[in-house]
Chain A
Amino acid sequence: MTDSPILETRSLGKRFSIGTRFSAEGKRTVHAVDNVSLTVRRGETVGLVGESGCGKSTLARCLVRLYDISDGELLFEGEDITSKSLSELRPLRRRLQMVFQDPSASLNPRRRVGDLVAEPLRIHGKLSSREIAARVAELFELVGLLPDHVMRYPHEFSGGQRQRVGIARAIALNPDLVVLDEPVSALDVSVQAQIVNLLADLQEKLNLTYIFIAHDLSVVRQVSTRIAVMYLGSIVEEGPAEEVFATSAHPYSQALISAVPVVETTPSGTRKRIILTGDVPSPLKPPSGCRFHPRCPIAVERCRTERPELKEYRPGRKVACHFPTV
Chain B
Amino acid sequence: MILSVRDLKVSFRTNDGLVRAIDGVSFDLEESEILGVVGESGSGKTVSLLAVMGLITDPNASIEGSIRYKGRELVGLPPRELRRLRGNEIAMIFQDPMTALTPVYTIGWQIAEQIRAHQNISKAKAMARVEELLAEVNFPNPHEAMSRYPHQLSGGMRQRAVIAMALSCNPALLVADEPTTALDVTVQAGILDLVRKLRATHKSAVVFITHDMGVVSELADRVMVMYAGRVVERGSRMELFSDPRHPYTRALLGSIPPLTGEKPRRLPAIPGSPPSLLRLPQGCAFGPRCPVHYEPCVTGRPDLGIGTHAAACFRVAQA
Contact = CB atoms under 8 A, between A and B. Distances in A.
Interface in A184-201: 188-194, 196-197, 200
Contacts of B135: none
Nearest to B276: A158
Nearest to A246: B260
Contact of A256 (B186, B214, B274): B186
Interface in A164-223: 188-194, 196-197, 200, 215, 217-219, 221-222
Interface stretch (B66-74, B84-92, B248-256): B248-256
B241 A279 contact: no
B185 A215 contact: yes
Interface stretch (B75-83, B100-108, B262-270): B262-270
Contacts of B287: none
A267 interface: yes
Interface residues of B, number: 47
26 contacts: A160-B273, A188-B273, A188-B274, A189-B40, A189-B211, A189-B252, A190-B40, A190-B270, A193-B257, A221-B257, A221-B259, A222-B264, A242-B263, A245-B259, A257-B259, A259-B185, A260-B259, A261-B189, A261-B192, A262-B259, A264-B218, A265-B217, A275-B186, A276-B190, A277-B140, A279-B157
B184 interface: yes
A273 B192 CA distance: 12
B206 to A, nearest CB: 16
Contact of B186 (A51, A191, A219, A221): A51
B169 interface: no
B185 A217 contact: yes
Nearest to A270: B218
A120 to B, nearest CB: 26
A296 interface: no
B238 interface: yes
B270 to A, nearest CB: 4
B96 to A, nearest CB: 14
A273 B266 CA distance: 29
Interface string B213-253: 11101100000000000000000001001100000000111
A239 to B, nearest CB: 15
**Chain A contact residues (Cβ within 8 angstroms of B): what range?**
35 or more
Contact of A263 (B188, B189, B193, B253): B253
Contact of A193 (B41, B263, B270, B289): B270
A62 to B, nearest CB: 22
B157 A263 contact: no
Contacts of A270: 218
Contacts of A242: 263
Given A265-B242, A275-B189, A190 B252 contact: yes
Contact of B273 (A191, A264, A266, A275): A191
Contact of A215 (B156, B184, B213, B217): B184
Interface of B: 40-41, 140, 154-157, 184-190, 192-193, 211-215, 217-218, 238, 241-242, 251-253, 255-260, 263-271, 273-274, 289
Nearest to A279: B154
A52 interface: yes
Contacts of A246: 260
Nearest to B211: A189
A276 B188 CA distance: 11
A260 B214 contact: yes
Contacts of B265: 200
A81 interface: no
A262 B269 contact: no
A160 B271 CA distance: 11
A276 B140 CA distance: 13
A188 B156 contact: no
B269 A197 contact: yes
A221 B242 contact: no
Contacts of A158: 273
A92 interface: no
A259 B188 contact: yes
A278 B258 contact: no
Contacts of B270: 190-191, 193-194
Given A190-B251, A265-B242, A217 B271 contact: no
Contact of B266 (A159, A197, A258, A267): A197
A28 to B, nearest CB: 16
Q: Which of A190, A200, A221 has the most CB of B within 10 A?
A: A190
Contacts of B157: 279
Contacts of A215: 184-185
Contacts of A218: 256-259
Contacts of A52: 155, 184
Given A52-B184, A262-B214, A217 B259 contact: yes
B189 A280 contact: no
